[in-house]
Amino acid sequence: MSELGIALIAAGAAIAGSVATGWFTRNAGIRQAEAARRAGERQADALLETVRMTLQEQAAVRVLDLRRQTYVRFLEAAEARILTERTGRGRGDDDGLLERALGTVLLEGPAEVAAAAQNLVDRLRRHGTPDDLVEAKLAFLSAARTAVSPPPPAG
């Protein structure tokens, strides 16, 4: 075989080897790119879920804070009205403040707290005994504490 024949065979083998290597490299690159895309999608999904959970937790905290403020205003108004009941002295707007505070508790809920607040106001309207008023106030406090307790962590 002549040198030209050997050179053509060697060149042909080199080209065939390059084509085969290129083909396998291309396929490997496509598989790597697909794997990287799937990994990126999983990371994006995880990030979105983390953001979603954070927003839900923040919303829950805002609800609890609003309830806490509502219950404090009601308790302050009820205490003023209880003091007026005991001493006979109070401000002229104690009843109005108590009614407005009761309205916000009824609106804010939940039902157990609203019922306890309504019970306390009813006992005040009936001029209940000091023991009755303390019992109703403690029932409201218990229901309110339960309502503003953060939910157990999800998991």
Whole domain around residue 132: which residue ranges?
3-148
34 falls within a domain: yes
- How far CA 64 is from CA of 13, 59, 115, 124, 148, in Å, comes to 76, 9, 18, 27, 5
Rounded to two decimals, what is the model's pTM? 0.66
pLDDT-wise least confident of 29-43, 70-84, 134-148: 29-43
Across the range 6-32, mean pLDDT stands at 82
88 falls within a domain: yes
Confidence of residue 155 (pLDDT cuts 50, 70, 90): low
Please name the residues in contact with 137: beta carbons below 8 A apart, sequence gap of 6 or more.
75, 78, 82, 120
153 falls within a domain: no
Structural tokens at position 56: 């839900």
Number of domains in the chain: 1
Confidence of residue 1 (pLDDT cuts 50, 70, 90): low
Closest C-alpha to 63, from 108, 107, 102: 108
154 falls within a domain: no
Question: From the centroid of its chain, how far is CA 149?
Answer: 13
- The mean pLDDT value of the chain amounts to 87
95 falls within a domain: yes
Say if residues 123 and 136 touch (Cβ distance below 8 Å).
yes
155 falls within a domain: no
